[in-house]
């Protein structure tokens, strides 16, 4: 917290405190806890009070389409909720209030276990709809953020939503509360009675295990018979300037551990042992001997990286009984998780002279490679970028995975959001000018998409 931080404001004056609203307050030592405050002690609240001339209360009754047409107050209200994955801490309340004010029917969906931890943690999500008919365009995103620990180099309160020198600072500013605010602002700039069917799929565990967010909401939609026809994900896709890159797909990711088993023994009597380290070396050399492929129409060459070779044997005159290789493959559309698993199995079998019982292979597939072929969806976004920021984005498939890997099973999906330079870093920040430009890009895209749907 900056030393110049103002004294707590009285609850009666705080725009965040009225009507019994529960806002997260800082506990004295260990982060954040929820609780109503008779006198608002929240650093968040005080930071917001300092700038209340530009801030709107997150209560639905106080958001108006005019106010929501500016993405900045909404982005600040979202950043002010310390929604470190999988906690929500009011972030989806802010989204719900804004979308309700714009005429959306909002469903809140929680999955996982109350009080659960890790993979079992409860995750809050939101699905909202407005209008009827087809095609339905959905905007997808997440309100959860990665942590911002005190020792990670932040020079300001990561949840104070400070604005300084044209930048809005805060955890989630670019990944991806800012983009959610921009899309809502773009919708707010449409005529209120616009019939174009729109949906929002906003989830709370994209930065975590991604088990009880998008996957579960998509299952819920299927059970309800709810369909969407195209989806835009607001992940930060631009490396350095808005309009540089539009993601039309993502590489797949497969992690694997191959454990080679042998027979331990004395190094002086190798004929009585079976050394798995020698096979480990052969296997590692074989796996790295040649590139997996040369790339494809929309993808770079696949990349296989050995991440560890483990024997763990501290004794120089002992042949160990087992050895292990771990690796990760980021793969393009020449491969699938299953084809790569078979490839690894064949390589291990060869290193073990055809003995299936001499190794075990354990794989974890985080996502298959996918690509949305360029078409109307990408053209409309490219045109909107060109019109607003004068750049035609490249169609990219680089980088890590995102929840688009789940959505692609339901409908064509593309990703376009803010500039990712500071995402997950200390002093994450977004330029106010970028918030306005992205809102204009989304708005132009929406107008064209909705005026002549395919």
Report the catalytic residues: 144, 206
Cα gap 161→90, rounded to integer Å: 15
* In the complex, minimum distance from the CB of residue 120 to Zn ion, in angstroms, rounded to a whole number: 22
Cα gap 417→81, rounded to integer Å: 21
- Of the pair 78, 102, the CB lying nearest Zn ion is at 78
Cα gap 361→365, rounded to integer Å: 13
- Helix (H) / strand (E) element for 79: namely helix 71-79
* In the complex, minimum distance from the CB of residue 51 to Zn ion, in angstroms, rounded to a whole number: 25
| Nearest C-alpha neighbor of 384 from the set 193, 239, 236, 186 | 186
Number of Cβ within 10 Å of residue 252's Cβ equals 24
Cα gap 253→233, rounded to integer Å: 19
Q: Which two tokens stand for residue 312?
A: 């763990």
- Of the pair 176, 414, the CB lying nearest Zn ion is at 176
* In the complex, minimum distance from the CB of residue 146 to Zn ion, in angstroms, rounded to a whole number: 9
* In the complex, minimum distance from the CB of residue 263 to Zn ion, in angstroms, rounded to a whole number: 48
- Of the pair 162, 235, the CB lying nearest Zn ion is at 235
- 300: annotated binding-site residue? no
- Of the pair 234, 243, the CB lying nearest Zn ion is at 234
Cα gap 183→176, rounded to integer Å: 11
Residue the block writes with tokens 């977004």: 430
Cα gap 190→67, rounded to integer Å: 13
SS3 334: coil
- 424: annotated binding-site residue? yes
SS3 247: strand
- 175: annotated binding-site residue? yes
Cα gap 21→80, rounded to integer Å: 14
Q: By the 8 A CB rule, do 217 and 398 touch?
A: no
Contacts of 204 (CB under 8 A, 6+ apart): 83, 85, 86, 88, 91, 92, 123, 124, 125, 142, 143, 144, 213
Q: Which two tokens stand for residue 380?
A: 């409309």
- Of the pair 93, 175, the CB lying nearest Zn ion is at 175
Cα gap 190→178, rounded to integer Å: 19
- Of the pair 158, 196, the CB lying nearest Zn ion is at 158
Torsion of CA 128, 142, 244, 396, to 10 degrees: -100
* In the complex, minimum distance from the CB of residue 26 to Zn ion, in angstroms, rounded to a whole number: 25
- 212: annotated binding-site residue? no
Q: Which residue is nearest to Zn ion (CB)?
A: 175
- Of the pair 176, 385, the CB lying nearest Zn ion is at 176
Helix axes 91-101 and 178-188, enclosed angle (nearest 10): 10
SS3 252: strand
- 345: annotated binding-site residue? no
SS3 317: coil
Residues that bind Zn ion (CB under 5 A): 175-176, 235
Q: Which two tokens stand for residue 57?
A: 């209360």
Residue the block writes with tokens 């802010």: 94
Cα gap 217→405, rounded to integer Å: 14
Contacts of 335 (CB under 8 A, 6+ apart): 252, 292, 293, 302, 329, 369
- Of the pair 93, 205, the CB lying nearest Zn ion is at 205
Q: Which residues are annotated as a binding site for Zn(2+)?
A: 142, 175, 207, 235, 424
């Amino acid at each position: 917290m900056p030393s110049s931080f103002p004294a707590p404001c009285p609850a009666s004056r705080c725009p965040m405190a009225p009507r019994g609203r529960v806002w997260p307050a800082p506990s004295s030592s260990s982060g954040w806890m929820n609780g109503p405050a008779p006198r608002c002690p929240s650093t968040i609240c005080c930071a917001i009070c300092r700038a209340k001339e530009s801030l709107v209360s997150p209560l639905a009754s106080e958001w108006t389409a005019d106010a929501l047409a500016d993405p900045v107050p909404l982005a600040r209200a979202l950043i002010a909720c310390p929604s470190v994955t999988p906690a929500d801490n009011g972030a989806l309340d802010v989204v719900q209030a804004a979308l309700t004010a714009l005429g959306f029917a909002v469903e809140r969906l929680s999955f996982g276990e109350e009080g659960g931890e890790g993979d079992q943690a409860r995750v809050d999500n939101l699905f909202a709809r407005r209008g009827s008919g087809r095609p339905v365009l959905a905007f997808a995103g997440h309100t959860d953020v990665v942590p911002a620990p005190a020792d990670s180099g932040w020079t300001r309160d990561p949840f104070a939503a400070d604005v300084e020198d044209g930048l809005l600072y805060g955890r989630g500013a670019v990944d991806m509360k800012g983009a959610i605010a921009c899309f809502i602002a773009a919708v707010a700039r449409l005529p209120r009675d616009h019939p174009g069917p729109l949906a929002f799929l906003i989830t709370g565990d994209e930065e975590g295990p991604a088990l009880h967010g998008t996957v579960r909401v998509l299952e819920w939609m299927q059970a309800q018979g709810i369909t969407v026809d195209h989806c835009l994900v607001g992940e930060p896709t631009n490396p350095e300037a808005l309009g540089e890159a539009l993601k039309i797909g993502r590489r797949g990711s497969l992690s694997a551990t191959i454990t080679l088993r042998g027979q331990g023994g004395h190094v002086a009597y190798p004929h009585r042992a079976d050394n798995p380290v020698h096979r480990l070396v052969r296997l590692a050399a074989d796996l790295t001997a040649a590139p997996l492929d040369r790339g494809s129409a929309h993808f770079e060459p696949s990349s296989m990286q050995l991440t560890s070779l483990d024997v763990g044997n501290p004794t120089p005159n002992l042949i160990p009984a087992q050895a292990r290789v771990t690796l990760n493959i980021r793969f393009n559309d020449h491969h699938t998780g299953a084809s790569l698993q078979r490839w690894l199995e064949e390589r291990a079998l060869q290193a073990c002279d055809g003995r299936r019982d001499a190794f075990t292979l354990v794989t974890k597939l985080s996502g298959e490679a996918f690509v949305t072929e360029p078409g109307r969806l990408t053209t409309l976004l490219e045109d909107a970028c060109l019109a607003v920021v004068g750049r035609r984005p490249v169609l990219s498939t680089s980088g890590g995975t995102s929840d688009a890997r789940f959505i692609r099973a339901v409908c064509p999906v593309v990703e376009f959001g803010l500039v990712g330079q500071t995402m997950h870093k200390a002093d994450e920040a977004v330029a106010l000018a970028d918030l306005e430009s992205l809102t204009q890009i989304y708005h132009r895209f929406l107008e064209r998409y909705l005026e002549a749907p395919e």
